[in-house]
Structure 1
């Protein structure tokens, strides 16, 4: 069993209130255009015309060679955090996703990185999490490498 882990609510609320992003800049405020703006907290797409935030995010506590930083979107207004193992909307829209396993030191576990069809994300994640050296996985865009969510043992 797996759990899809969205960004922590306390982190998101701080960013929604104007806290600095991973580069020390305030989040940019924009209006969602189209349907391709996935919020990394509720894990749904931000409605066209709704206000959203664009910011630099690093899904790691510290700086090290594997601590990738990149752009993400968030709802500008408070939204409910996605909870549980159900596959969220934002992980069903693309034909495929990049999954990578990490150890307890936040280092990539080599051999776990793979582009996986959307329908196979849960199964692949479950198989990778059976490896004792893997603590969690990241789901990223297979096209742009943008961070989408984390997968933990559930």
Structure 2
């Protein structure tokens, strides 16, 4: 069994409600969702017309050549939403994904590109390998980090 993990609300709540000019000073762009902005905190597609932040986030802080940061969306005022174990949120399942399996040393063990509707099987396959510690899901078209996947209860 696996767990899809949202980014913590606490990492972004200091930005909630700030005026656009203050956010710009922090290199945060403000956009209005077209209904297809996937929030990394709520793990939902933000409703059309909702204020959304586009900002850079370090999703892979391991001290390896795979250390990485990229643009992500976070809804202004987003509440952290942790899906039940074994559940892939629609905002992830509805997109083409790049799935990257990492070991405990933050090195890539395996990777593939898959339709999000089929990702459950690939997650199970990767976690069948004892060398795999966690997975990263990325939205394949733009390469943006979507979520971290861990073994449920781990």
TM-score range, shorter chain: 0.7 to 0.9
For 1:4 and 1:122, locate their aligned partners in 2 and report how far apart those are by CA, in whole Å: 11
For 1:84 and 1:17, locate their aligned partners in 2 and report how far apart those are by CA, in whole Å: 29
1:28 partnered with 2:29:
yes
1:82 partnered with 2:82:
yes
1:108 partnered with 2:108:
yes
Structure 1: gaps (5+ residues): 19-23
Structure 2: gaps (5+ residues): 19-24
Pair 16,105 (structure 1): closer, same or farther in 2 beyond 3 Å? farther
Instruction: Give the corresponding residue for 2:135.
Output: 137
The one of 118, 121, 129 equivalent to 2:119 is 121
Residue deviations 1:15-60 (CA, integer Å, cap 9, x gap): 5377xxxxx934222221x222100011101111111111001113
Aligned to 2:7, the other structure's residue is in SS state coil
For 1:28 and 1:101, locate their aligned partners in 2 and report how far apart those are by CA, in whole Å: 30
Alignment of 1:58-77 (within 5 A): 58-77=58-77
For 2:148 and 2:39, locate their aligned partners in 1 and report how far apart those are by CA, in whole Å: 13
Aligned to 2:108, the other structure's residue is in SS state coil
Contact persistence 2:38–2:45 (CA under 8 A): yes
Which segments of structure 1 move beyond 6 Å, counting only runs of 4 or more? none
For 1:120 and 1:73, locate their aligned partners in 2 and report how far apart those are by CA, in whole Å: 23
Contact persistence 2:98–2:139 (CA under 8 A): yes
RMSD over aligned CA atoms reads 2.1
Aligned residues: 146
Pair 80,6 (structure 1): closer, same or farther in 2 beyond 3 Å? closer
